[in-house]
């Protein structure tokens, strides 16, 4: 008996814009997010838990319709948009265990500090659990799904570090956390040149697994998961273009303009405005040769 991978995508969420050079006549949004469900004959393993109570409730209904026993929820990295939905999911599936790798647990704990929660609440007031549940350190190196291995792999840097992806070798599938982005702007706000180089190396780790399916943690709802090479290459191009534009731009607006010339078709443009504002101290610093 083989296993399957189903993907739930929660759409773009409206948020209040706080970036001064964002065109305030346009609605700012938070990236569309995915949750991946590996299913066997009877059991299921969920990768990532979304953010708001409303979207996590919709995810629970979707899982319930599969008629499987949810045994495990694995969290790919310590960002609230991937695990604040756990309270809702564990309410609905009290026998499931929420886990992550032991090295990721402290970063989840940091996300539920008063300061970090205040930041999340500024964007999503009263929209997620007051005291988000933090996943526990998982026992063993892989999650068993009816004899099939669901294996987390630490890849280092993505939009945060440490980040992991999840590999289901038996079906050549990877749930890519926030390492690969699909049809949507990459969250580069927390990076500098060195981190962007490390992020590129993390993409190479996914590439080395040679997946046939790659589910990006943030993807346009219409983007396909069955062309991993295109997803990886598009993410590489975006990160390299951003890195070059940072070194060649004098202002955040110039960085945005340069990036939008070649990446206008991507979803959630507000991500780029946030990144451009966040890296403003890095602008024009490095001379790029060739």
Q: Which residues bind Zn ion (CB under 5 A)?
A: 79, 81, 178
Minimum gap (Å) between residue 177 Cβ and Zn ion: 8
Number of helices (H), then strands (E), belonging to the chain: the values are 8, 15
Minimum gap (Å) between residue 42 Cβ and Zn ion: 30
Q: Which is nearer to Zn ion, 22 or 120 (CB)?
A: 120
Minimum gap (Å) between residue 107 Cβ and Zn ion: 13
In our burial notation (b when 16+ CB lie closer than 10 A, e otherwise), range 118-140 reads eebeebbeebbbeebbbbeebee
Q: Which is nearer to Zn ion, 75 or 153 (CB)?
A: 75
Minimum gap (Å) between residue 201 Cβ and Zn ion: 19
Q: Which is nearer to Zn ion, 143 or 216 (CB)?
A: 216
Minimum gap (Å) between residue 253 Cβ and Zn ion: 25
Spatial distance between the Cα atoms of 111 and 26, rounded to a whole number of angstroms: 29
Q: Which is nearer to Zn ion, 13 or 79 (CB)?
A: 79
Q: Is residue 73 within 8 Å of 99, Cβ to Cβ?
A: yes
CB burial class (10 A; 0-12, 13-18, 19+) of residue 256?
Answer: buried
Minimum gap (Å) between residue 180 Cβ and Zn ion: 12
DSSP state of 283: T
Q: Which is nearer to Zn ion, 55 or 81 (CB)?
A: 81
Question: Which tokens is 270 given?
Answer: 């507000």
Judged by DSSP in three states, 117 sits in helix
Spatial distance between the Cα atoms of 146 and 19, rounded to a whole number of angstroms: 48
Under 8 Å CB-to-CB from 279, ≥6 apart: which residues?
A: 188, 189, 191, 192, 246, 252, 255
Minimum gap (Å) between residue 60 Cβ and Zn ion: 20
Q: Rounded to 5 degrees, what are φ and ψ at 24?
A: -70, -10
SS3 of 231-261: the string is HHHHHHHHHHHHHHHHHHCCCHHHHHHHHHH
Q: Which is nearer to Zn ion, 142 or 156 (CB)?
A: 156
Q: Which is nearer to Zn ion, 72 or 271 (CB)?
A: 271
């Amino acid at each position: 008996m083989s296993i399957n991978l189903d993907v739930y995508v929660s759409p773009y969420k409206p948020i209040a814009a706080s970036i001064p050079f964002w065109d305030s006549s346009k609605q700012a949004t938070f990236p569309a997010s995915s949750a991946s469900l590996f299913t066997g004959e009877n059991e299921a393993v969920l990768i990532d838990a979304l953010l708001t109570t409303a979207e996590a409730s919709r995810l629970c209904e979707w899982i319930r319709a599969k008629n499987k026993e949810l045994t495990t929820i694995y969290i790919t990295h310590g960002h609230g948009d991937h695990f604040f939905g756990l309270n809702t999911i564990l309410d609905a599936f009290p026998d499931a265990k929420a886990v992550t790798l032991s090295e990721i647990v402290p970063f989840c704990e940091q996300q539920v500090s008063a300061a970090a929660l205040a930041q999340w609440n500024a964007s999503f007031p009263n929209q997620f659990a007051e005291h988000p549940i933090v996943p526990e350190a998982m026992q063993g190196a892989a999650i068993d799904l009816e004899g099939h291995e669901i294996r987390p792999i630490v890849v280092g840097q993505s939009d945060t570090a440490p980040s992991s992806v999840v590999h289901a070798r038996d079906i050549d599938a990877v749930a890519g956390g926030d390492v690969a982005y699909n049809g949507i702007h990459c969250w580069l706000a927390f990076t500098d040149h060195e981190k962007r180089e490390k992020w590129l190396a993390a993409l190479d780790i996914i590439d080395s697994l040679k997946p046939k399916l790659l589910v990006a943690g943030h993807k346009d709802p219409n983007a396909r998961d069955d062309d991993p090479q295109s997803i990886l290459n598009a993410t590489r191009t975006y990160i390299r273009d951003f890195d070059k534009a940072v070194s060649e731009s004098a202002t955040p607006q110039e960085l945005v303009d340069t990036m939008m010339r070649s990446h206008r078709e991507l979803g959630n443009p507000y991500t780029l405005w946030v990144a451009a504002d966040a890296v403003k101290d890095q602008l024009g610093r490095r001379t790029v040769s060739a």
